[in-house]
Amino acid sequence: MPELVLHANGRTWTLDASRSYTIGRDQQADISFIDRRVSRRHLMIRCDGGTWVIEDLGSANGTFTEGRRIQRIEIGHGSIIRLGDVSTGMRLDFTGAPAAVGDAHVRADAQVRTDAQVRADARIRAGLSQGESRPQARGATARGTSAAAAATPPVVPGPRAGEAPGAAAEAAAVHGDARDTDRSEGSAAGPRGAAASLFVDRDPSGVHRLDLGQRLRIGRAPENELVVEGPYVSRHHAEFRPLPGGRFEIVDLGSHNGTYVNGQPVHRQVIGPYDIVGVGHSTFRLAGDRLEEFVDTGEVSFTARNLTVTVGRGKTILNDVSFGVPEKSLVAVIGPSGSGKSTLLRALTGYRPADRGRVLYDHRDLYAQFAELRRRIGLVPQDDILHKELTVDTALKYAAKLRFPGDTKAAERKARIDEVLQELKLDVHRAKKVASLSGGQRKRVSVALELLTKPSLLFLDEPTSGLDPGLDRDVMKLLRELADDGRTVLVVTHSVAELSLCDRVLVMAPDGSVAYFGPPGEALAYFGHESWADVFSAFENHREDDWGGRWRASRQYDRCIAEIDSAVPPQQPGTQATQPPARALQSKPQGWIGQLWTLMRRYVSVIASDKGFMALMLLLPAVLGGVSCLIPAKYGLAPPPPNSGFRYNQESGTILLVLVVGMCFSGAANSVRELIKERVIYERERATGLSRSAYLMSKVIVLGLITTMQSVVICAIGFSVRQLPAQGLLMPTAIEVCVVISALGFTTMLFGLVISALVRTPEKTMPLLVMFAVVQVVFTGVLFKLFDSPGIEQLGWLMPARWAVAGAGTTLDLAHTMPPWNLDKPDELDPLWAHTVAQWGIDLGVLLAIGLICGFAVARLLRRHEPEIMRD
């Protein structure tokens, strides 16, 4: 029987003569086209007595060939059929089947077999019926010589996540029971249907042979059977292992960035014939005894459909936004302030998924498969995502270390940094500090950072804000070049001067809906204005107009929707956007320790490069310790000697108060700006896999060490001119008090981090810091009696200064050194100051416990500043 090959919509199917095929818009048709002119069951193709025929199944808009409508016609090599319209309808091209799969498709040891044999074997091994067919790649090309590299394997229709079981069963019945069996065994938990909900056909970038009984290891290292390049691939990443019955499973070999099946991370998973295995920027699909590889080189389509975001009590801030972007496009998003541009960006990048609607990355559901696909997305926020104190080279070095797999060699990272700097013409600036660069250059460096991991999609939030028109043009030209080099670039901008460089412009209306999407050259004509200033004035003056409705009624909208329809299958109205569980996003490029070490080194580099900050860090404790020395106190911190004629030493309490408050201020001041100043960096790095706890711990360790050093300086200077009691409770007095002061510094440093994580702008940190220090003065317990004062006493328990003075007070026996609050009742002493080892331990323990609580609070507060999808 002759095989026939159908080409349509950029895809190819090899039709098997032993069965018939229905074609239509229905997802359950054997071959499904999403085009409104195509009927749900439009036509049937079958082989009748050795001749292929097409029969129209009573379609509404008809089937056409050679300018006339037909009911039934014989077809063969060279036939052209149109569905829905005689001249512009969906075009079907037919050719004869290809003769054989060339040797180039398989490894050198592969047997030369005909394509038909290969497919037949594939069906048998995969448990498919002989009549089963699926989209066939258009002539596989040898690995590395692919003309058009592909991102996504062909996938076939199947039951979608959330689809009724009945519908799923029905779909399975149409497509063959065997496939359904495969699915149940070889499925990754999660939205499998999202991976397999539409027809897409691509040329594989490479085809590899899977030998029976042989393992096939994938990784970056040359010794793997299948070498896969890429910034997210570990040296030994994953392995296809044979199972009885000719099946295979994929096993993750402890890779840093994870192995995915249908977008969900897996450790071990039996693979069905329709499963998509993701490793770095490559995806694989089993085709019988062959493994097809699809490398994402950046040429991907990107589609948003019906994105809607609602906040508060149902206020819609993004209103049913749909648009589709072809490969290698530069798209500008413009609109009046508050029209939802940033909201849209967050929805498109998965930072804050839309409440309704879908985002498709090369036909894959971004939200459902975010765990895998997030690595293909680069985002350059409005604020710089680099530490300004570092040189360009150093900043990129740390960024690469955090984002690349832990087993990447320094030379590999350096090579990639060199490559990116060259591409963005930044090599001459690599030794300069980021802070010394111009605004445009800084933006380039941020783009360079994002390009390190070779994203296919690049999003930029107002990259030209604050730049003069010349730099604005430079940045837009750069984005144009990036798109031309094989990426899709979407830029939110306020500037309309360089829109002509873009392929498409998305204009947002004041109510968060789309006012226009299409070529920038046609936009002004669409609005009926001569300048963008007029368009924006119209938005301002007619905010209540139905801009979205006008857009939906336009013929440009029909064109836009037709483009989207060809890429996106319809979704049930009202369907909620799917999100992966946060735990699915937990794979990290480096281990926790690796991240911590890199973060600590980067933090130390940042501090070390800021000489002014370093000087202040030393000066502050020196001044505070020195100030305490100015207090006149004949007996220092010790009780007066018995023969001195004095019973008490009031000044000892005053000296301790100054030391304690100084340390409170110093500790909190160290940390109070540390989180807020790099919040944007944290948010971005968190989205790329940074561990929250490693980040927090890096701050705690570095700042903890600095604070401890400061407390030693304060104590050393403060005690240098003072008398101290001869012996402490457990150790020499000076050391014992210094331990408590250090603990106080540590706890207040953590309290400073709480403030830093709490505020929205750095300016708010200072008033809060001052307030904190003053409150601590009041609650030291030295100025007035705190114990036996209901309410105040309990409030004091929350204050680090209260416990620090108490801890030092137990060592110094402050209760007996300072005069009692009531001279008539000399035995009425502060219980927290009791001169015992146990009380010292309790005071120190509570002080540290407050610090610990602050640490947990910071972790919790940090969560608020993370991409919503990363919160666990």
Ligand X SMILES: Nc1ncnc2c1ncn2[C@@H]1O[C@H](COP(=O)(O)OP(=O)(O)OP(=O)(O)O)[C@@H](O)[C@H]1O
Summarize as ranges the residues that interact with ligand X (CB under 6 A): 311-312, 317, 335, 337-343
Smallest separation (angstroms) from ligand X to the CB of 343: 3
Residues 6+ apart with CB under 8 A from 818: 648, 649, 650, 652, 653, 782
Residue 312 or 612 with smaller CB distance to ligand X: 312
Q: Is 132 or 461 the residue whose CB approaches ligand X more closely?
A: 461
Q: What does the H/E/C string look like for 453-493?
A: CCCCEEEEECCCCCCCHHHHHHHHHHHHHHHHCCCEEEEEC
Tell me how far, at minimum, the Cβ of 312 lies from ligand X, in Å: 5
Residues 6+ apart with CB under 8 A from 163: 171, 193
Q: For ligand X, give the closer residue by CB, 164 or 311.
A: 311
Tell the smallest beta-carbon distance from residue 648 to ligand X (Å): 59
Q: How far is CA 514 from CA 261, 319, 367, 533, in A?
A: 35, 8, 21, 18
- Lookup: tokens for 134: 């699926």
CB 17 within 8 A of CB 47: yes
Locate tokens 């180039």: which residue?
104
In angstroms, the CA 688 to CA 717 distance is 45
Residue closer to ligand X, measured from CB, 156 or 379: 379
Q: How far is CA 396 from CA 333, 400, 445, 730, in A?
A: 28, 6, 8, 49
Smallest distance, Å, CB 443 to ligand X?
17
DSSP string, 250-265: EEE-S-SS-EEETTEE
Specify the residue, 20 or 465, whose C-beta has the smaller distance to ligand X.
Answer: 465
Supply the minimum distance, in Å, between the C-beta of residue 195 and ligand X: 30
Query: How far apart are the two ends of the chain, measured CA to CA in Å?
Result: 57
Q: What is the C-alpha to C-alpha distance for residues 199 and 294, in angstroms, rounded to an integer? A: 16
Q: Who's near 281: CB < 8 A, 6+ residues apart?
A: 230, 232, 233, 295, 296, 297, 375, 376, 454, 456
Q: Which is nearer to ligand X, 343 or 671 (CB)?
A: 343
User: Is 311 or 837 the residue whose CB approaches ligand X more closely?
Assistant: 311
Q: At 53, is the secondary structure helix, strand, or coil?
A: strand
Q: How far is the CB of 308 from ligand X (least distance, A)?
A: 13
**Pairing outcome for strands 4-8 and 68-70:** unpaired
| Complex with ligand X: residue 21 or 539, whichever CB lies closer | 539
CB 578 to ligand X: min, Å:
21
Contact 83, 38 (CB under 8 A): yes
CA-to-CA dists, residue 648 to 654, 656, 770, 815, angstroms: 13, 15, 32, 10
Q: Which is nearer to ligand X, 278 or 381 (CB)?
A: 381
Residues 354, 384: Cα–Cα separation, whole Å: 25
24: tokens are 């239509």
363, HSE (Cβ side, Cα atoms, 13 Å) = 26
Q: How far apart are the C-alpha atoms of 49 and 315, rounded to whole Å? A: 62
CB of 499 to ligand X, least distance (A): 16
- How near is the Cβ of 536 to ligand X at its closest, in Å? 11
Q: Which uninterrupted H or E stretch holds 696? A: helix 692-720
Give the residue with the Cβ less far from ligand X, 27 or 342: 342
CB of 354 to ligand X, least distance (A): 12
Beta carbon nearer to ligand X, 139 or 338: 338
Q: What is the closest distance, in whole angstroms, from the C-beta atom of residue 759 to ligand X in the complex?
A: 17
Compute the distance between CA of residue 123 and CA of residue 275 in angstroms, rounded to an integer.
15
Residue placing its CB nearer to ligand X in the complex, 55 or 545: 545
Calpha distance 562→578 (Å, rounded): 24
d(CA 865, CA 872): 12
Half-sphere exposure for 599 (CA within 13 Å, toward CB): 27
Residues 6+ apart with CB under 8 A from 154: 11, 134, 135, 136, 137, 199, 200, 201, 202, 285
Which segments within 519-591 are labelled E, that is strand? Answer: none
Q: Tell me whether residue 68 or residue 313 sits nearer to ligand X (CB atom).
A: 313
Give CA–CA dist 326/503, Å, rounded. Answer: 9
Q: Please, what is the minimum distance in Å from the beta carbon of residue 277 to ligand X?
A: 37
Helices (H) and strands (E) in the chain, counts: 25, 32
* Beta carbon nearer to ligand X, 82 or 352: 352
377-380 and 457-461 beta bridge pairing: parallel
Question: In this complex, which beta carbon is closest to ligand X, that of residue 341 or of residue 722?
Answer: 341
Minimum CB distance to ligand X, residue 345 (Å):
8
Q: Which is nearer to ligand X, 209 or 346 (CB)?
A: 346
Closest separation in Å from C-beta 583 to ligand X: 25
Residues 509, 453: Cα–Cα separation, whole Å: 34
User: In degrees to the nearest 10, what's the CA dihedral of 363, 369, 371, 373?
Assistant: 0
**H helices present in 247-388, as ranges:** 341-349, 370-373
Supply the minimum distance, in Å, between the C-beta of residue 501 and ligand X.
Answer: 20
Both structure tokens of 244: 């009885």
User: Minimum distance between the CB of residue 382 and ligand X, rounded to whole angstroms?
Assistant: 8
Which CB sits closer to ligand X, 355 or 423?
355
Q: How far is the CB of 346 from ligand X (least distance, A)?
A: 8
Nearest approach in angstroms of CB 512 to ligand X is: 6
493/733 with CB nearer ligand X:
493
* 413, two tokens: 């990272």
